[in-house]
Amino acid sequence: MASALSSLRYGDSLSVVAISGATAVLCEAISWLLIYRTATYNSLRATIERHSRKLDAMKAGSSNSSSGAGAASGSSSQPAGSSSSRAKKMDRVETSLKDASRELSFAKLKSGAVVAAVLFVVFGLLNSLFEGRAVAKLPFAPVPLVQRMSHRGIPGNDPTDCSMVFLYFLCSISIRTNLQKLFGFAPPRAAAAAGGGLFPMPDTKVN
Amino acid sequence: MSGTFQGDICKITTNHSIHTTTRRLFCCATRSHLSAAGRLGNPPAAATAAEMRKTKPSSKQSRGSQAQQQQNGHSKLARYFDPEASWDKDQLLDAVHWIRQVLGLACGLLWGAVPLVGAVWIALFLAISTGFVYLYYAYLLKIDEEDFGGHGALLQEGMFASFTLFLLSWTLIYSLVHF
């Protein structure tokens, strides 16, 4: 196999992909060990999903009631107070959702630090192995901003020469994202949509 | 999240991702096998005892369970093309994500094998990927996009990951096959 790889001009690209894939699996395993299997993470995730479903149901209900109220404007059977109470309920659920998202982000800090350390070591290893040479040939000339990464450390002016950094970046994003999706470790969409994070902006609706 | 078992067919409505759906299909297939044991002439008490003792199923029952699993597999795949199927937001977004990944990989392999060279083919991939997803949810599934977060949420789901997967596969095949 080594001879087959060496016969290929850009056989190093397969090595980069293999190491990136193995690193992605290792990082997900570390994340699973440190955070995904804990009760705290699972309960936070369930809370976020529950609040998200509740919020979606409330939004759907309020849109239906507003369209119904518009159609039957003569009858004033629905007092104005109920709509304000519904809005307050939605605000409360949204706040709970943001709080849960923030706690989830905080809970993932520990594994995030370990994963970052692993990625740093692997990147250093790859850099030492493949520095200064093109590991692949790009089938297009990237824009100058991307060329800073794709042509990093490579002699010459051919923009289609691909450095390890760019290939590693492509591998990391594509493999890790899909691995997380496949194993169910992807963060809840509601957490990302809530936009809480560790340092949320102050809620302008709260006086 | 709910799963109802009706006869031989498991109707599953769940808010979790595909891997959870797969687990629940397996559980339903197992339950269907046990129910089939009841319908094959064993009295209910014996069926319950059979459940508790976990006796080895006969060859006819194992063939029935295999057929049931195959049917569930086919129905799971057919569900992605069934406009009458009920869709949860997360389920649809997951389906769109995986469709994009498959498209990205396929286009990358094809672009690299031909080879197609030039940045213009990136635009073609983006157009194909977006158009395919739009045709899928608008014309095949015939869903109301407002119920699922609008066109934006559906069209951007999985876009970045599929784009990087496309670039990766395109670059790899082009480099390895043509140099």
Closest Cα in chain B, distance from residue A146 (Å) = 13
Q: Is B96 on the interface with A (CB under 8 A)?
A: no
Q: Is the pTM of this model over 0.80?
A: no
B59/B21 same-domain check:
yes
B122/B51 same-domain check:
no
B36/B102 same-domain check:
no
**Local confidence band at A146 (pLDDT 50, 70, 90 cut-offs):** very high
Last residue of a domain, one of B71, B94, B129: B71
Q: Quick: pLDDT tens for B91-127.
A: 899 999 999 999 999 999 999 999 999 999 999 999 9
**Local confidence band at B29 (pLDDT 50, 70, 90 cut-offs):** very low
Q: Which residues contact A164 (CB under 8 A, 6 or more apart)?
A: A12, A16, A126, A127, A129, A130, A131, A135
Distance CA(B38)–CA(B57), nearest Å, equals 12
B84/B171 same-domain check:
yes
B93/B166 same-domain check:
yes
Decide if pLDDT at A143 tops 90: yes
The beta-carbon neighbor of A137 closest among B16, B97, B175 is: B175
The continuous run of DSSP H or E covering B10 comes out as strand B9-13
ipTM over 0.85: no
Last residue of a domain, one of B43, B71, B99: B71
B58/B92 same-domain check:
no
B32/B101 same-domain check:
no
Q: Is B100 on the interface with A (CB under 8 A)?
A: no
Question: A104 or B43, which is more confident?
Answer: A104
Q: Phi then psi for B4, rounded to 5 degrees?
A: -115, 145
Residues A140, B111: C-beta atoms closer than 8 Å: no
Question: B19 or B75, which is more confident?
Answer: B75
B159/B82 same-domain check:
yes
Residues 144-163 of B with CB under 8 A from A: 147, 160-161
B161/B131 same-domain check:
yes
Average pLDDT over residues A170-174: 94
B27/B100 same-domain check:
no
Distance CA(B166)–CA(A7), nearest Å, equals 25
B108/B163 same-domain check:
yes
**Chain B residue closest in CA terms to A173:** B161
Q: Quick: pLDDT tens for B57-97.
A: 556 666 666 666 666 556 667 777 777 777 788 889 999 99
Is the bond preceding residue A202 a cis peptide, omega within 30 degrees?
Answer: no
pLDDT of residue A126: 92
Q: Determine how many CB atoms are found less than 10 A away from the CB of residue A3.
A: 7
Q: Is B121 on the interface with A (CB under 8 A)?
A: yes
Number of separate domains in chain B: 2
pLDDT of residue B4: 44
B87/B63 same-domain check:
no
Q: Quick: pLDDT tens for A19-39.
A: 999 999 999 999 888 888 888
Q: Is B38 on the interface with A (CB under 8 A)?
A: no
| A57 exposure class (CB count in 10 Å sphere: 0-12, 13-18, 19+) | exposed
Decide if pLDDT at B37 tops 80: no
**What is the extent of the structural domain holding B31?**
2-71
Decide if pLDDT at A193 tops 70: no
Q: Quick: pLDDT tens for B124-156.
A: 999 999 999 999 998 888 888 787 888 888 899
Last residue of a domain, one of B71, B89, B105: B71
Q: Quick: pLDDT tens for A52-87.
A: 888 878 777 776 666 555 555 544 555 566 778 888
pLDDT of residue A194: 60
